């Protein structure tokens, strides 16, 4: 078993290990985003409070597709204005809150050409506004960050 090292380049705010984001108590940033925007799925939920299928439901049940399909469509229509980048390693994760669309990845042995390193001012302002609105304390100015992610 080897170790893969991937490179990530993105524009945003870097946060130290252990930083607590508003969505840390949720299953994902996407779930948090739906909650803060008061999204309610109009389809019957095929899961119990433990995340297990309700009696009589399995992965092939069309109600599961309807439930997730609606949530996916809502996310497409109401995208997160930021992207969360996990870097370092699974045991010691660190994060960058990046401007959407600025993330570039180079996977082990697959270099990627980078032609454009510009970010539109309104996109930077969106990131700053997002952090202010959700009380995410930053200690630096947004910048380009080159980081790595290790996986085994």
Per-domain residue ranges of the chain: 4-34+81-151, 42-77
- What is the mean pLDDT, run by run of 10 residues, along the chain of 152 residues? 77 93 92 96 93 92 94 96 87 89 88 89 96 95 90 58
Distance between CA atoms of 140 and 152, rounded to whole angstroms? Answer: 31
Residues 6+ apart with CB under 8 A from 29: 21, 23, 80, 84
Strands 143-151 and 4-15: antiparallel
As given in the structure block, the two tokens for residue 86 are: 């996990």
Ranges of beta strands (E only) in 4-142 are 4-15, 82-88, 93-99, 104-106
Q: Take residue 122 and report the two structure tokens written for it.
A: 């309104």
């Amino acid at each position: 078993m080897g170790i893969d090292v991937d490179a990530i380049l993105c524009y945003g705010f870097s946060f130290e290990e252990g930083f607590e984001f508003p969505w840390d108590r949720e299953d994902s940033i996407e779930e948090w985003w739906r909650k803060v925007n008061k999204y309610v799925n109009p389809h019957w939920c095929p899961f119990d409070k433990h995340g297990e299928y309700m009696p009589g439901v399995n992965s092939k049940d069309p109600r599961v597709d309807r439930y997730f399909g609606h949530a996916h469509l809502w996310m497409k229509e109401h995208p997160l204005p930021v992207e969360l980048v996990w870097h370092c390693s699974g045991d010691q994760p660190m994060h960058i809150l990046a401007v959407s669309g600025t993330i570039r990845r180079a996977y082990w042995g697959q270099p990627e050409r980078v032609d454009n390193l510009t970010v539109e001012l309104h996109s930077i302002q969106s990131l700053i506004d997002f952090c202010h609105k959700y009380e995410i304390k930053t200690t630096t100015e947004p910048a380009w960050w080159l980081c790595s992610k290790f996986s085994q």
